[in-house]
Amino acid sequence: MIHVLAQSDDVLIIDKPAGLPLDPGRHGVASLEALLPALRTGRFIPAPAHRLDQDTAGCLALARSKAALRELSARFAARDVGKFYWAVLRGDVAGDDGVVDAPLLKHSTRADGWHMRVDAAGAAAVTRWRVLGRAPGMTWVELAPATGRTHQLRAHAAHLGHPIIGDARYGGGEGMLHLLARRLVIAGLDATAPVPPHMQGAIAACGG
């Protein structure tokens, strides 16, 4: 069951569970696409207006018509959207806030597959961050991406020297990814997603 956080005639903002991919995989894994018909109120099946990684939980905007999908896509392209994420990072981040301004480029190897890394030849990528709480060995932060590159928050956290807990691809260790699309402001809607169970312990330890 998909929980709707906010809605209008044109837009739904849902709470996407961690581990749920947007699109069907090659091995028949459950996906959000299979659940969207249940949210239909007319002939148009709601469609995602942007992307969230499979392992990222939280706010995802769905368009309820073709016209709404065009409008929402244009808003994301123009950065006319408020996006705020919560993450728990490994280690003690120095300082209370800052900006990562580091271009990202996709790199692939036969042995390790693909990942994004900071590279002067890459696309511009900017992330603002601020510390929300601390505990031994971890830091709870808010991340506000000014751009929307693939794996931007994960790669920028690693670039800070403090990968997101559970992000094995970028050095954060095994387990579930501690990244939540906490708040989304778009098209007159302002939605906040609850903290998923797998992040609650770490955030509580950091004072949340």
Kindly list the catalytic residues. Answer: 53
Of residues 83, 159, 76, the one with CA closest to residue 115: 159
Q: Measure the CA–CA gap between 123 and 101, rounded to whole angstroms.
A: 11
- E strand map for the chain: 3-7, 11-16, 47-48, 57-63, 82-90, 97-101, 104-109, 113-118, 126-135, 138-145, 179-186, 189-192
Phi, then psi, of 129 in degrees rounded to 5: -140, 155
Q: Measure the CA–CA gap between 102 and 26, rounded to whole angstroms.
A: 33
Residue pair 103/123 in contact by the 8 Å Cβ criterion = yes
Structure tokens at 160: 């800070």
DSSP 164: B
